[in-house]
Structure formats: C-alpha cells, structure tokens
Structure 1
Amino acid sequence: MKSKVVYVCSECGYESAKWIGKCPGCGGWNTFAEDVVVTSKSSKKVAQSFSVPVKLSTVDTTKDPRIVCGIGELDRVLGGGIVRGSLVLVGGEPGIGKSTILLQLIKSLEQNTSFFYVSGEESEKQLKMRADRLGIRQDFYVLTETDINAAIKHAETITPDILIIDSIQTMYNPDIASAPGTVSQVRDVTLSLMKLAKERSISVFVVGHVTKDGALAGPKVLEHMVDCVLYFEGERHQSHRILRAVKNRFGSTNEIGVFEMTGEGLREVKNPSSMMLEGRPEQTSGSTVICTLEGTRPLLAEVQSLVAPTTFPAPRRMTTGADYNRVNLLIAVLEKRVGLNLSNQDIYVNIVGGMRIDEPAADLGIICAVASAFKNKDIAPDIALIGEVGLTGELRAVNQIDKRLNEMKKLGFSKCIIPESNKRGLAPPKDLTIYYAKNVGSALQLLF
C-alpha cells in the first residue's frame, strides 16, 4: 500500500497534483482541498459487478415501486412516495428539522415498514429521548457508528425497507487515509450506499450538513450521485419550514412541502397561503399580495417594501426572499418607464414568512410594493397582483392563471390585476373582479 497527496475541487471533484487557485473544471476559486489517496501495489484487479444485463422488456413493473409515506407534504415533494432502492439526500441548516422529519417518517410507517437508523452524531440514549418526545414506537433498529463498512454489514443482515444515515459527513471508510467529510470519503461512502440501495432494493435517506453560505457541504458530486435532493428552508427563529426538491429523478423538482415546527415535531400545513398572510397589516403602504406557483401548488405571499430618503451618494438596496438583481432591474423600470425618482432612496424588499420567490410572476407585486412605499399610499387589502414585467414596462402573460385566481378567491380576495395578454379564453371565478393592465403605468393607475 502506498499513498500520495492530491488536491480535489470540492465543487466538481476535479483532481490536480498541486494546489490551484481557480479550478479548470468548474471555474470556482479557492475550492481545492488536500486529499490523501491510498493505492494498492497490485495494479491488476478483476472487475466485479453486482448486476447482469437484462432486456428492458423483461423488467417487472407490476409491483408498486413506491412506499407512500403517510405524510402528505413529504409525499408531494417526493413525487408520490419513496421509490424503493432510491438514495435520497436531505440537507438543511442545523436545527431546521432534518432528523425530526425522518423520525416522523418512522412514526408514520412503523407498522408496515422496517427501519434501520444509523447515527454518527447521537448516542442511543439521545435517540431514545427524541423518539419519546415525538411519541414514536421504538421497535426499529438503531446503531451509533461512523464506520460505513460496519453500518452496511449490519444493514445487509437486517435488510430493512428504509435505511437512514445521519449524517454523511460523519461516515468514513477506514481503508481511505483521509478525514471524514473530505471529497474522497464522501464519494466512497455515497458509492457504497448507492450499491447497497440498488442491489438490495433498500431506500436510503442520507442527512447532509450545509456550509455557512447555505450550500450542501461536501463535493458537488454528492448531489449528482443521489437520486433525490431535498432541502429544508426557513428561518430557525420562525415556526414554519419549507421542504423543497432541488433534484428528483422520480418526480417534479418544483414541488414544495410546508411544515410548522411544534413541540411535538413537524406538523403539516394544508393551506400554506393563509399561513403566509397571517398577521398582514392593513392600511399600510408598501404591502402587496402576489400569487406564485410552486410546482402544481399556487401560494399567496405578502411582499413588503420600505423606501426612505438617503443622504449618501450611493443608495442602499436590500432584498430578503427575492432575487437582488431582479429587484434592481424592476427599480430601473420604475425610474425609466414610470418616472419615479428613486436614485436618492434606500429601498428594502422582503418576502414575508421566509419564502424565497424566483418566479417572474411576482414582478408586478414587487414593483407596486416599491411604488406604494415611495408614494406613501396604501393598497386595498382585498386586491392581489400577478404579472411578469418586461424591460419596456409591459406586462407579460403568466402560466396557469386559472389556478392562481381560484386560490385568491378561496382566500377571500375580491379583486386582482393581471396582464391583458391573459384575457383570452379566461373564465374568472365568480365574485372575483379582474382588472387587466397592459403595462406598469396602467397597473399603478388602477391602484392609486
């Protein structure tokens, strides 16, 4: 056995014999980390495979390939349930609820499904205390181990339906001379878990940590290797959490699940729109309501804006939950196409409730919130806004307008401003007055 030192990019896995400032593979800066690779003296090895080639027509698909979780929001994000033999990565900030949602999955399926929980961070006593708090019947196997070879050996003996690894950064292969969490360790551990999942048809859930920038810790190859990447969003100091599918080979990547953190664990939120609008102030300038589409689910959210004069030559712009560059573009449209002088104003935009919205259909709501705060004129509380704004100030059509309008009607809104290009073939709900606008200027005239 001999070892050598290589430098591996934590973003794309590119290897180099020496440290490089900029990665030639992905273009990232300061992403190379030192890694030790152990090689065997015997170079000739016989390739071993755990599967044989088969004709696709002979594959049996009559059996249900999914396990329905019983947690509606989790089933929605996964695309209808857990696919047998899949490898799922669950990421999020510390304390956001990653381990809690997996323990509640055990609670939901404990009577019909066998589980094996491998923890590299908590002891058996700590897991039992958490299970007691969540009211989980404790007839599943647990193991506190960081050696992935030992964990896989026990999993092959127990053969559970679902294996949970908490977390991937604590697991290591003793045959590799590098610390847990490094590129080579994470890659090798993930490959071992993938082999176990595909060979034994065991669904594997892997918990992953995030960096201070909010990205999943470890190499990007980890996200490429797994079948599904679920990411928990939300402020730790707020009660609700959003579970988003960043990658899903077996379903849509646009679906989200909404939960509320309580003393008994995570509780499903059946109507997240009402939760997002709870406590909305009335007769206050700078507040609008928009309707965004997350997968197949329409969600209403409140956009707040604060515009204040500044004495500094460069005004400040700050956004929370909205794309910073997009908001700056919309501010430029207000200045050029509407004639509002915002060059000497500090502007702050916030999506209330910790939501992050990237859909262009929120443009009109953001623009009207900024204009309302600048003019210090409030917008009627029963009116909602939908529309994408172009650089010339025109309002462009948005998709699935019927579904958005029905959601507004269900939550008691009586008026809505939408692009005129959405008028063709539209059948608006009863008791919902629709106003059509061609551009930003005509929309602001309808509001003020």
Structure 2
Amino acid sequence: MKKTQEYICSDCGYISKYWLGKCPNCQAWDTFVLNSKENILQENTNLVKPLKISQVDKQDFFIFDTGFNELNRCLGGGIYKNTIVLLAGSPGIGKSTLSLQTAYNISKNFKVLYVCAEENYSNVRARFDRLFNNYSDNLFLFDNTNIGYILEAAKDFDIIFIDSIQAIRSLDLSTPIGSISQVKNCIDKIVEFSKNNKKTFVILAHVTKAGYIAGPKFLEHMVDVVLIFESRDDYRVIRVSKNRYGSTDEIGVFVMTEQGLKEDNYNQYSHVGKKAGSVLSFLPEGSRLIPIEIQALVNRSFSEKPKRIIWGIDTVKVMVISSIIEKFLKFELYKYDIIMSIVGALRVFSNAVDFSIAVSIISSFLVFPVNRSIFIGNLSLYSNIEPISKNRFRLFLLESSKFSIEKVYSNFSKDEVFCEYPDLKELVQNIEFYKLESLEDLLKIWKI
C-alpha cells in the first residue's frame, strides 16, 4: 500500500504533485487543496481476450416503462436497462416532480430507490402526498449525499434516481460539494458501478445561467441519454441532446398542474379558427406533429411607423411573409400594425408553417375566419404553394382527423389524395380538399 499526496484544483479538477497559487488549466487563483489518497496496486492475472463481433452474445434490451408516452418517446421507448439517463433543467422547472412521478410509475413493477440528496425525507413525502393518493411498497427513499453509501444502498434495487449529481460528493476528494472535480469523480463511480452490477440510473442535473449543464462536459459524455427540460409558461418541454438508443429529434410536451406534470391532451385547440386571424397548424418535431395555434391581429395603424410585435415566431420570417402578401395580393400591410403570437409550448423557426402564418395574416386583414381548416405546403418567395414530402403530408392528414378538420388546402385534389393514400380513403372521405398553386388561388376559392 502506497500513500501519496497530491493537490487538486477545486474549480476544474486539475491535479498537481505540488501546491500552486494559480491553476495552469483554468487560470484560477488559490483553488488548490490537498487531496490525500491511498493507492493500492493490485496485480491482475486475469487475461483479457478480445472477441470477434460475431462471437458476442445477442441479448434483448429490457425497457422500463416510465408511465409517460411523451417521455418514453424521447427515450426511444422507455428507460433501457443498465443505462444512465441524465435529466437537466433550471431550478424550479419540475425535474424533481417528473422524476418522482416516473419513479412511482416504475415502482408498480420494480424496486426503485429515490436518492433525495437535495431535500430531506419530509419534503419528498410532502411532494409525494400532493401528487399521489396511494403508496408503493417498492419505492424507497434515501437521504444521503455520500456516493459510497448511495452505491452500497443501490445494490438491492432495479433502478436508482439521484436528485441531484451536484448535491452528492465523494470522500476521496476534499474539494467542495458540487465542484467540477466532485461531479467528475461521482459520475466515474456511478458509471463503473452501473457496468459491474448491471444497474440503471436516472440522474438529475442543474444548468447554468447560460443554459449549459453545470459541471464538466465529461458528465454528458459518460451517460447514455441526455434530456434537457425547458419551460414556457405552464408548458414543460423535454428535448433530447443525446440518445444512444433512439432519435435526438424527438420532444416531449407536458403541462404543469397542481397534481404534477401531465401530458398535453391538446383540448385547448378545439376553438381554433372561430375568429379571424386564428389558424391551426402542425409543427414537425421528430416522428410526429405538434399542434399549435397561430394568432394574428392586423389593425390600421395611426403612426408613421406601423408596429410589428411578434411572440414565438422568427421576426424575419413574419417580415418576409408580409412582403410576399403585399407584393402578390396587393394588400397595403405597410399601413397596418401586425401583432402575431404562437399559442403552445413551442417557438416557430421552421418553414413548415409559413403557409399557415400567411393565412393567419390574410384572415385577420380580411376579417375572414377559417374554422376547421388546415393549410399544408411550403410558401415560396413568389407566393407559390410548394408540396411537402409524401410522408409528412400523410402525417398532416392523420393529425387533421383528430381535430375534426373539414377543409384541407394544399397542392392535392381529393382524387389525387385517394390515389396516393388509398388506405386513408375512409379516414378523409368527409374532408373537403382544395387544390391551389399560390396565395392568389386562395382568394379565388374564398371568392374575395
């Protein structure tokens, strides 16, 4: 057994044999602390034999059902066994609520350990009582910040939730809790434990003011899945930053309620289109479409410079679409204020809804409601309505049927739709299809 001494930077984790006033790695002053460590050198006589890829045994992946379809979709079907999932978000956004709800759902069939490193037992119990009416005999709490004790307790459980990685520490280091070196050391131990004992972890993490995950980038590299939890009003959106078992294009949409996080059922869009300027559209995200309401208010301006007030949409996009309408429909929008907003959890930067944005402006300008209507296609700079891919058009039709859509405006006539999608004939037979090539054709169909 050999006892050595080394000094470690509490900011970046840089290790030196001697004490230094200034860290050569992060340039911070007076950050080196003594780190005593006993190195036990062991001889391993086991031979490591590489295997051909054809010799590796196939195994079926077991997946934990989180109880949330939105979360399962982001994870590639659910939480894969023997993996580590990192869930990061701002303070107060609902990370602990979502993890506790997920832990409860999984505990219906498996033993779950919930490590509450940031809170005590009473606080977690109070949140649990607010969220659920019944208790689970398979859900256990552990109030501890020592990674050694946590991993020792984890041996008897199928899946372990840790809240959070910045609140636990390793006694191997004398650096402050939450420091880069502590986070790196703890995640090292968790990864090694997970591989050796075939355990599954869900780890919560904080983000900085700039929106990055607090701690070393090494943290994201070592885990299998990285989920980013975002907030917009009452909505909570999960975006996938990394996923070894699924797509990174998927998102999950939740609504924060007094009973915790619930999946959005989109009932609030039933009124869309009843007033001029209100248009229902779908925003492509991953393998599905997210419904959004586009609202426009076009009103006569009494100032020298008409206002352009826009929420949730790229401002340049609205300016370009307004210019197209002025040029080809001869609307004098330069004399009008245009106020636009997106109702929903997402912000719009995609070109997929440009046609719908244009219709929203036209509808408000003409005071012409477009109830139970959907507008499918891309808008060119010459006001032409260009077709979208066949797969995406099919998705639009499937989603439209869920919202009782009665009119579809696109590049396809009803006969062309039946010919291209014979399996959807029964689903869309009661929908009226209007084929148009440009925005001018839209006014002809409306007889304006």
TM range (shorter): 0.7 to 0.9
**d(CA) in 2 for partners of 1:323, 1:442:** 26
Residues 225-252 of structure 1: CA distance to partner in whole angstroms, max 9, x if unpaired? Answer: 322122334445x3x5443434322112
**2:420 matched to which residue of 1?**
426
The answer as to 2:369 corresponding to 1:379 is yes
**2:386 matched to which residue of 1?**
396
Measured at CA, do residues 446 and 131 of structure 1 come closer, stay the same or move farther in structure 2, by a change above 3 Å?
A: same
The answer as to 2:403 corresponding to 1:406 is no
Amino acid paired to 2:7: S
Shift of 1:412: 1.1
- Counterparts of residues 17-416 of structure 1 (less than 5 Å): 17=24, 36=31, 53-133=50-130, 134=132, 135-155=134-154, 158-176=155-173, 178-212=175-209, 214-236=211-233, 238=234, 240-269=235-264, 272=265, 274-280=266-272, 282=274, 284-308=275-299, 309=301, 311=303, 313=305, 315-320=307-312, 322-343=313-334, 345-373=336-364, 375-399=365-389, 400-416=392-408
Taking structure 1 as the reference length, what is the TM-score of the superposition?
A: 0.79
**d(CA) in 2 for partners of 1:132, 1:434:** 51
The question of whether the paired residues in 1 share the 8 Å contact of 2:158 and 2:199 is answered with yes
The question of whether the paired residues in 2 share the 8 Å contact of 1:73 and 1:268 is answered with yes
Shift of 1:340: 4.3
**d(CA) in 1 for partners of 2:401, 2:270:** 16
The question of whether the paired residues in 2 share the 8 Å contact of 1:75 and 1:81 is answered with yes
Measured at CA, do residues 441 and 299 of structure 1 come closer, stay the same or move farther in structure 2, by a change above 3 Å?
A: same
Amino acid paired to 1:393: S
Measured at CA, do residues 149 and 355 of structure 1 come closer, stay the same or move farther in structure 2, by a change above 3 Å?
A: same
Shift of 1:278: 4.0
Amino acid paired to 1:426: E
The answer as to 2:7 corresponding to 1:3 is yes
Larger Rg: 2
**d(CA) in 2 for partners of 1:35, 1:405:** 63
The question of whether the paired residues in 1 share the 8 Å contact of 2:110 and 2:138 is answered with no
**d(CA) in 1 for partners of 2:432, 2:273:** 22
Measured at CA, do residues 70 and 398 of structure 1 come closer, stay the same or move farther in structure 2, by a change above 3 Å?
A: same
Shift of 1:142: 2.0
Measured at CA, do residues 348 and 88 of structure 1 come closer, stay the same or move farther in structure 2, by a change above 3 Å?
A: farther
Any idea what SS the aligned residue of 1:169 has? helix
Shift of 1:160: 1.8
The question of whether the paired residues in 2 share the 8 Å contact of 1:119 and 1:166 is answered with yes
For these two proteins, the number of residue pairs brought into alignment is 421
**d(CA) in 2 for partners of 1:346, 1:210:** 38
Residues 174-203 of structure 1: CA distance to partner in whole angstroms, max 9, x if unpaired? Answer: 444544444443333333322222332211
**d(CA) in 2 for partners of 1:159, 1:37:** 38
The question of whether the paired residues in 2 share the 8 Å contact of 1:276 and 1:301 is answered with no
**d(CA) in 1 for partners of 2:429, 2:284:** 22
Structure 1: tracts of 5 or more residues without a match:
10-15, 21-32
**d(CA) in 1 for partners of 2:172, 2:336:** 60
Measured at CA, do residues 47 and 352 of structure 1 come closer, stay the same or move farther in structure 2, by a change above 3 Å?
A: farther
**d(CA) in 2 for partners of 1:81, 1:129:** 27
Residues 51-105 of structure 1: CA distance to partner in whole angstroms, max 9, x if unpaired? Answer: 9544433333344432233433332222122111111122334444322222222
Measured at CA, do residues 45 and 391 of structure 1 come closer, stay the same or move farther in structure 2, by a change above 3 Å?
A: farther
Measured at CA, do residues 140 and 347 of structure 1 come closer, stay the same or move farther in structure 2, by a change above 3 Å?
A: same
Measured at CA, do residues 5 and 347 of structure 1 come closer, stay the same or move farther in structure 2, by a change above 3 Å?
A: farther
Structure 2: tracts of 5 or more residues without a match:
14-22
Measured at CA, do residues 34 and 231 of structure 1 come closer, stay the same or move farther in structure 2, by a change above 3 Å?
A: farther
Shift of 1:126: 1.5
Shift of 1:303: 0.7
Amino acid paired to 2:249: N
The question of whether the paired residues in 1 share the 8 Å contact of 2:278 and 2:370 is answered with no
The question of whether the paired residues in 1 share the 8 Å contact of 2:34 and 2:174 is answered with no
The question of whether the paired residues in 1 share the 8 Å contact of 2:104 and 2:139 is answered with no
Residues 272-292 of structure 1: CA distance to partner in whole angstroms, max 9, x if unpaired? Answer: 3x424044462x222111123
The question of whether the paired residues in 2 share the 8 Å contact of 1:187 and 1:221 is answered with yes
**d(CA) in 1 for partners of 2:166, 2:47:** 28
Residues 102-156 of structure 1: CA distance to partner in whole angstroms, max 9, x if unpaired? Answer: 222232222431212112211012122222332332543322223334323432x
The question of whether the paired residues in 2 share the 8 Å contact of 1:402 and 1:426 is answered with no
The question of whether the paired residues in 2 share the 8 Å contact of 1:6 and 1:17 is answered with no
Query: Percent identity over the alignment?
Result: 30
**d(CA) in 1 for partners of 2:442, 2:176:** 58
* Aligned-CA RMSD value: 3.9
**d(CA) in 2 for partners of 1:354, 1:228:** 23
Which stretch shows the higher mean deviation, 408-417 or 392-401? 392-401
Residues 305-343 of structure 1: CA distance to partner in whole angstroms, max 9, x if unpaired? Answer: 2345373658444322x3444444434444455554545
Measured at CA, do residues 6 and 268 of structure 1 come closer, stay the same or move farther in structure 2, by a change above 3 Å?
A: closer
**d(CA) in 2 for partners of 1:396, 1:306:** 26
The question of whether the paired residues in 2 share the 8 Å contact of 1:35 and 1:178 is answered with no
The question of whether the paired residues in 2 share the 8 Å contact of 1:420 and 1:438 is answered with no
